[in-house]
Structure 1
């Protein structure tokens, strides 16, 4: 398996190799520090000072070369501008075409320069993470804190598009003018005198995309797509790399997203009526926590086996998912006439065992071309959000009561029958239309990895770091160090167990997963107990609860448009993360029923604040998580998507169990008792975020 350092070297532009950050040299220095600290010949303060100076020099070398190349590009554009002036006086189609190609050639050189900066940014992040792994997660915090905004530091220049905007603007303007001249010769209008759409040119589009990646600026689709946590390669793809589109099948992708939508509808369609259904079967209304949470309990297990199954097939797990969900909804609907709360819970458990969200994620990650993968990821999140809104809305419409052949159809059972029909139609559609993609990668590469290599890999991970360094110090020389030391940590071999995946989690990743747990817990408490709380305090009907929950679900896309298009381009992700955590905290705080009588405006406003803030927090949190998580968690059964799903599902399980347990103290105490855990978990996540704030860089 190719080591990260070797892969980094392969991505470098050959003629510029001397100006890249020397990752291999710095990695060797980290190893030397580890050995010297172990022997007691060097203290940590000296290490911090020496390595900081080395990083400063490496960054300065890169930035000065970057500025030099920008100057050369500016000179080329200036010379082309002189030719442009001549052509404007005497337009000629062939000369215009030649000049346009010359400008595009400059654009290609600019794209190479952006690629140069991006590779350096990845290498810098990687060496900071490596240093932290050796020495207790302290260096990144120190280095970023002292260099991020210091006037003498060049650190920001590596992560920001310094001066590129002016070059892109000049290229775009000149190309646009040449296009106008070619299409309408003799016109005296300037391009500034008429409203026009932005220039659609492949080179300019590629440059803008590279700048957005480099500066972490984003748009609505990117921000929304990040909710899916579909991880990508750490290193950017080469400029001339093309994506193989043979495995892409639009209808299969559509069916994959339809599965996501129907599952979310299935999850939330019972929320407004779960308490009434429980009471009609002789249970307490707060047993709705168990009924709703049963699906999440089963999903904890189904996520693992569906993720493993998707290594071999996509069609078969989706078929199995549809059959299990069909049976689960039949049992859920029949529980009323069978008068059994246990049949009701078993039906929901079966629905949870049919959760194929791990397959949905893997299909987008593995089978959708890179150029539309972000749109597909955004589609995955949009389908989830739409299903979340449609579920309660449909429950509000199913207000009827009749019997056919002694089978009852009312507001409690109709959600089950509706989803039964939906999954049956989907199953037939899936069977006829879905196309199983060809698995060339797995067939070619997996068998070549021997058991001995796998065992050695895991052994390397399990060994204490300094001990393993000591054992290998005599084996590694300058040439083979690149492979031997890097293999355990930076191999792209995916983690093969939950334990192996857990060992790859740094404190920053653990904090991100804690935040994800917190927001899912708070949202589940709000949604699952909404029917019980509003009935007790405000006498809301099922239709009113449905409208309230549907309105919450409908806020997801507008909020993401605002955050993705504007707020995320004005502030750093870590700033938005901390601010949204505080807003969730305020939403929880205002939800408590203390001293004053509880009112509808208080409940609606606090619930809306909590839900919207949690939605913003989810997008930013998963964006950061995808950047700080190990690349080994980008593929395989135990991937980053699975870990985040498990964290969120576990939060939902605990939240629903909390509602049921709190119900034994009476409905009058339910609100405050269930909000207390949310309060303390939120405070803990804010403290943990502050502790790791400078490592979220």
Structure 2
């Protein structure tokens, strides 16, 4: 892979070259600081001051150029506005088409400017990470705290753009008025429901959203999937994705996700009763529920590796394993064996293909719809989580066919076994294995000869700079100055090859994000897995009542994400929402403790709702930040960021379910407080860690 500095240079626009962040110069400066500190000729305080001044100058150069270009665009729009006003009195079809194209050209130039800012923003984040990694300082924390929060902050101008928003609005409004109306206009402010169908405006809005991290419901929901993307997606990658994409195959992956989550939570309301019927304690339900997660710790790794070669075969294996596992789960009642029950759940966990589902979206779905597909992945999980307990509520019956018993304990297994058998048939009929990379390259080489030239903007982004012989010599001299170890760091862009190498890529900020993810999954698993035992002990709830409660919790996922994704995330920074959500999870945990006697239904329901909803909000924001602070090397390969987050969440579930079973030996009366105590400790630790790394989450 190409080093970041080379990739950054190749993306620059030639005539603006002098206004980009000088990444190579700052990288050399970092190397020189290291040598001087080692020689004892420079102290750390001087390094912080000198590097801060250099960054200030670089940012000021970017911001002033940005403001200058905004002014030029505004001047062009003002002149076009005069022509627009004249056409309202004397409409002319040819002039309207010409004016519309002139506005589109302004939009294309605005898009160039947005890409300019985006590349500089990426460069700033990269150099801050490099400095922290090289020296072990918390320089990013210091720099962001002193610059980003200052009233005259120029750093904020690189990430928040009121002026750009005004230009976007002007271009959008005028193009909308000229769209298919031939001189008879209605304002977008009067009819906001009428969409503007123009690819230039769509590209501009997407670029602004990426730059400011603005979200809507779909993008916020999609963040839960942690489907990492390359920082510089190219049209070639987009074309390859189109060749690999197959709608029915995507639908089958989403169906697999949905059925797996139904399979996970359909047993939660009855696991305690099933354990008792097999001669075990009610709290053994923790092991029964957690057995699936134990196997998932291992299945996530081999499914992730398997998806490097195929998507179809892992899904076939997943369906067969889940069919066998659910059949064993159902047969355990008539065999009167808790071990058959646990083996069945282990088989179900071995069939967890979520790594394949996520990988298919990341690798095979085109960029233009990848966010919608990611949101579909998360929605399928949320709906499955709600439908599992709800379905269990309807399986309240008891009958026998020959020697097989069908009751509330065994029916979840039989129903899911039939569901996976139907899914397996559908999979064999409809799934299309996508092309592998070597096949794509061959097809692209065959089709490249007849491909038409792209528009001027695209060419400006794709073509490398025209470097003079003097520039080339200077670059070679610069590269010679960089030592081999530093060059190796930049040019080693290969994916991590093991869990250990992936772990070594984790910065303190990433480790904190994974801790937060562990905490929220632990707290949610404690709440859900012990709900049947707790509500039966304190309130005497029936299986149907527990199922309805769990289903209602699951149904809050989509409305909460609509609220946060469409409104709250656009009003506050992600790191602010992150910390607030952690505090609310802490409040929900504290409220859940059995301190006041008697323990009321209202206390349990309200505290559970606060904890669950806060954890859902926290998950989306946490994974959004994780995707930004995580190394780009973790966006590819078997040991990627998605796998790490899955492993962290799965381990949390395993430990939480084990905690429930162990706490059961102390008696049902102490179960609630004993299981909540670790949640409280981990939550406090994550809040403290967030505060420590707060200014690096930028």
Query: Which TM-score bucket, shorter chain as reference?
Result: over 0.9
Q: 2:347 aligns with which of 350, 366, 384?
A: 350
Partner of 1:99: 99
Distance 1:428 1:229 in 2: 30
Corresponding residue for residue 380 of structure 1: 377
Q: Is the 8 A contact 1:112 1:239 kept in 2?
A: no
Q: 1:253 aligns with which of 226, 234, 250?
A: 250
Query: Aligned partners of 2:638 and 2:212: how far apart in 1?
Result: 31
Q: Indicate if the aligned counterparts of 2:265 and 2:385 stay in contact, CA closer than 8 A.
A: yes
- The answer as to 2:427 corresponding to 1:430 is yes
- The corresponding residue for 1:42 is 42
CA distance 1:315–1:236, change in 2 (3 Å): closer
Range with bigger deviation, 199-208 or 602-611: 199-208
- Matches of 2:192 and 2:306 in 1, distance apart? 53
Partner residue in 1 for 2:657: 656
| Structure 2 contact 73–110 (Cα < 8 Å) conserved | yes
Residues 521-567 of structure 1 deviation map (CA, whole Å, 9 limit, x = unaligned): 00000000000000000000000000000000000000000000000
Instruction: Evaluate the alpha carbon distance shift between residue 522 and residue 380 of structure 1 in structure 2; reply closer, same or farther with a 3 A threshold.
Output: same
Deviates more, 1:213-222 or 1:84-93: 84-93
User: For the residues of structure 2 that align with 1:427 and 1:439, how far apart are their CA atoms?
Assistant: 23
How far off its partner does 1:491 sit?
A: 3.2
Between the aligned partners of 2:520 and 2:579, the Cα distance in structure 1 is 13
* Residue 487 (1) aligns with residue 488 (2): yes
Provide closer, same or farther for how the CA distance between residues 85 and 483 of structure 1 changes in structure 2, counting only shifts above 3 A.
Answer: farther
Q: Distance in 2 between matches of 1:241 and 1:289?
A: 45
Return the offset for 1:178: 2.2
1:691 maps to: 692
Q: Is the 8 A contact 1:3 1:483 kept in 2?
A: no
Shift in Å at residue 75 of structure 1? 1.1
Report the Cα offset of residue 417 of structure 1.
Answer: 0.2
1:181/1:381 CA distance change after superposition, 3 Å: closer
More moved, 323-332 vs 231-240: 231-240
How far off is 1:87 after superposition? 1.6
User: Once the two structures are superposed, what CA deviation does each residue of 1:473-506 show, in whole Å capped at 9, x if it has no partner?
Assistant: xxx9513567953433553310001110000000
Aligned residue in 1 for 2:528:
527
Given that 1:56 and 1:153 are in contact with CA atoms closer than 8 Å, whether structure 2 keeps it comes out as no
CA distance in 1: counterparts of 2:346 and 2:311, whole angstroms: 22
Q: Deviations over 1:363-416 (max 9, x none)?
A: 000000010000000000000000000000000100000000110000000000
Unaligned runs of 5+ in 1: 446-475
Instruction: Tell me the residue number matched to 1:511.
Output: 512
Cα pair distance change 1:557/1:671, threshold 3 Å: same
Counterpart in the other structure of 1:15: 15
Question: 1:322, 1:168 → 2: CA distance?
Answer: 48
| Contact 1:396–1:546, Cα closer than 8 Å, also in 2 | yes
Q: How does 1:264-663 map to 2 (within 5 A)?
A: 264-440=261-437, 478-480=478-480, 484=484, 485-489=486-490, 491-663=492-664
Kindly state the Cα deviation for residue 646 of structure 1 after the two structures are TM-superposed: 0.2
8 Å CA contact 2:238, 2:366 repeated in 1: no
| Residue 170, structure 1, aligned to residue 170, structure 2 | yes
Instruction: Indicate the RMSD between aligned Cα atoms, in angstroms.
Output: 1.8
1:473 counterpart residue number: none
Distance in 1 (alpha carbons) for counterparts of 2:46 and 2:436:
51
Determine the C-alpha separation between the residues in 2 that align with 1:258 and 1:370.
21
How many residue pairs match? The answer is 664
Query: Which residue of structure 2 lines up, in the alignment, with residue 451 of structure 1?
Result: none
Once the two structures are superposed, the pairs formed by residues 659-670 of structure 1 within 5 Å of their partners are 659-670=660-671
**Residue 234 (structure 1) shift:** 2.1
Cα distance change of structure 1 residues 174 and 662 upon mapping to structure 2, 3 Å threshold:
same
Instruction: Give the gaps of 5 or more residues in structure 2.
Output: 443-475
Deviations 1:1-60 (A, max 9, x none): 200110111111111111000011101101111111111111110000000000000000
Matches within 5 A, 1:66-85: 66-85=66-85
SS of 1:636 mapped into structure 2: coil
What's the offset of the Cα at 1:67? 0.8
CA separation of 1:257 and 1:195: change in aligned 2, threshold 3 A = closer
**Deviation of residue 238 (structure 1)?**
7.2
Distance 1:245 1:95, change over 3 A: same
TM-aligned CA deviation for residue 151 of structure 1: 3.2
**Residues of 1 paired with 2:501 and 2:213: CA distance?**
30
By how many angstroms is 1:98 displaced? 0.4
**What's the counterpart of residue 450 of structure 1?**
none
